[in-house]
Amino acid sequence: MKHWQGWLLWLLAGAAAFALPGNVWHQASSPAFPWAVLMPMLSLLTILGLAAPALAGWLGPKSAQHGMLALLEAPPDFLWGGLLLALWPSAWGPPGLAAFGTAFLLAALPSEVRWICAAMPTESPLPMAYGPAAVRSTRRTVILHLMPRWLAARVPLWLTATLVLERIFGVQGLGSDWMQRISNRDRLGIAVWLMAFALLWRATRSWERR
């Protein structure tokens, strides 16, 4: 997709946000953006963005069919959240952001590693025939090419799909903000969210071109 086509799609999405039909039956003011959780969430995404490609490069494409990875990917996020909530020592105080971040990584990391491994090409007969050094070099090259597409496809999902974990741990996060703006028909707020996603897409496209 060319850049002008992509920007056209994002502009159409922003226009659709302003043209949302209907009104909420119970008028409510737009929520304040949760600035306090922004840096912790960006830190979690940075950890995910570094750990998932590193693990995928270490495990290789065959791990996409690995039973243990599939087993870790299977539990939904609310099971990880419930398990952490049950095991959280009361002496540590309320779980809050620490437990939320741990549950987030437990839920997200296996599926993202599996996603990257599944996108990697097979290594047999080449480059495996040239030895381990060639395999490692090929994996690094492949992951560098996959990273922009992976970030563009998956980061928006994890930014807005944390609503269940936020409810479990009592955190007002980005998923809650996204859903509240949709339910309140906050057209301007939704358009700002879409613009942030468009800028992420533009950044990953520039990285991919380089």
- pTM comes to 0.80
Q: Tokens for 43, please give them.
A: 């830190």
Could you read off the pLDDT of 8-64 as tens digits, one per residue? 776 777 777 667 665 555 556 777 888 888 898 889 989 998 999 999 999 988 888
- The end-to-end CA distance of the chain, in Å, is 16
The pLDDT value given to residue 54: 93
Q: Where are the domains of the chain?
A: 31-184
Instruction: Return the pLDDT at 31.
Output: 74
Q: DSSP characters for 124-143?
A: TTTTGGG-HHHHHHHHHHHH
Closest CA to 98 of 81, 75, 113: 81
Q: State mean pLDDT over 153-157.
A: 81
Helix (H) or strand (E) holding 1: none
At residue 5, the pLDDT reads: 66
pLDDT at 21: 63
For residue 68, is pLDDT > 70?
yes
How large a percentage of the chain has pLDDT more than 70? Answer: 87
What is the pLDDT, as a whole number, of residue 207?
62
Percent of the chain past pLDDT 90, that is, above it, reads 10
Range of weakest confidence among 54-58, 149-153, 168-172, 205-209: 205-209
pLDDT for 58 equals 92
